[in-house]
Amino acid sequence: MVATDSVSVFAEGTFSEQIRELVDYLARGRPEEERPAYVQPFTDILETAEGQPAIEEDEARRKNVFTMVLGEVNGLGDGSEKEIEGFFNLLFAHFITLLPLDSSDAKARLVSLLQTIAGSPDQSIIKYRILSNFFNALPRRSNLRLLVYKTLLELASTHDELELLGLSRGDVEKWASEWDISVEEKSEFLQSVASAYTKSGQPEIAFGYTLSYVRSLPSSSPNAQTAAVDAIVDALRLPLYFDFDAFFRLDAVVAAKDHELFSLLQIFLNDGLPEYKAWEEGHADAFAKYGLERPQLERKVRLLSLATLGFQNIGHHLPYSTIASTLQVEQSDVERWVIDVIRAGLLSGRLSQTSQTLHVTRAGIRAFERPQWELLEKRLLAWKTGLAGVLDVIADARRKGGAEAVASTSTASPAGTEVPVPAPTPAPAPPAAAAA
């Protein structure tokens, strides 16, 4: 719903005509007999006394009458959706033109206006359009965009309508980097987006913004360790999250290396079930303390261990017995675990009940460090050797094809003696060409 580029709002008529249009709209909410008295103070300011410059040339008077109009806005007004949207578009155009957007006065007036719009009863859809129009009309670097979007976010979260915003993490991070705001404000904004998705029951999407929030915090921030621990807990809880290597690229997480969950995080990155069981015995109170479930953590460790085993055996047949030993399960349960790891997207392969093996065709890796580079080097050398063998076979076939071509071009003389015909100058043709 909200675009990333600012757009201009154009209005027709003179300044006086536009102000009268705004005032007439506001007057609709009053009894008809009160409307003339309500409009009169605005009319008095708009009229130019003898010796005064026209209001179009008097910035102070324009600002004065506009702030009077702004102070009278106490709701969406009495009009159709089209009229409401038109009123606020015109109001925003003058707001941007007449008020210095980097001033505390503009910020205070905007906060009041946003509260008025968001707090108006009903008509939530038109509110989104009004706020989106204002967001897009503001300069891309304006810090006021933050206030407008936070209002949009709160409105959508309150009414459980986040999907109407059409948010993407790329857009959100780009906006936060563009706006002229402090590091603390940026972090707070990312956290608010994560909280909104958590509230709406979308923990997977929320977690992505949580990582953005933690990434935005310097390791020296007083909130860094708490945020890092919360992110680790969220990652451990999510049943389909397995990319724990990403955590070790976050300054706030690395700074929390003395925390008890950091050692658990390392197990999920590098180790297997024996190491996890040892940690579990030594931190029995951690599960209730952080709301972690033992069966779920154990399942994730098994899946990651199976993926690592698969990565070490890509292109090979893994016996069921080897898988069962690694996962510490019965051999009869191996197929269920393999199906589970394939569904999780960590491995691809073919099961053979006849040979009791898994042929691994693809597998993910938890971390790509020196051992993985060495394994990749061995595979590349093996492929290089294999390709060299194929090239040798092709070259040998071409040589044999050339010899056959020479033999097939021989003819016999009338006296019965063979007269050799010279072979063509170009390189000998392959066997298929010679046969033809």
pLDDT digits 0-9 by tens, 234-275: 999 999 999 999 899 899 999 999 999 999 999 999 999 999
How much of the chain is in helix, strand and coil states, percent to nearest 5?
A: 65, 5, 30
Closest CA to 303 of 331, 323, 284, 277: 323
Q: Which structure tokens are listed for 229?
A: 């621990």
Rounded to the nearest integer, the mean pLDDT of the chain is 87
CATH of domain 303-363: 1.10.10
Q: CA 365, 370, 376, 378: dihedral to nearest 10 degrees? A: -140
- Gyration radius of the chain's alpha carbons: 36
Secondary structure tally for the chain: helices H, strands E: 20, 5
Burial class (CB in 10 A: 0-12, 13-18, 19+), 63: middle
DSSP assignment string, 139-191: -TT-THHHHHHHHHHHHHHHTT-GGGG---HHHHHHHHHHS---HHHHHHHHH
The secondary structure element, H or E, covering residue 360 is strand 357-363
The number of angstroms, rounded, from the C-alpha of 111 to the middle of its chain's C-alpha atoms is: 29
Token couple for 36: 């003339």
Residue 302 CA to residue 294 CA, distance in Å, equals: 12
> Which pLDDT tens digit goes with each residue over 387-425?
877 888 888 888 877 666 655 655 444 444 333 333 444
In tens, the pLDDT along 29-54 reads 899 999 999 999 999 999 888 778 88
Domain segments of the chain as ranges: 1-166, 178-292, 303-363
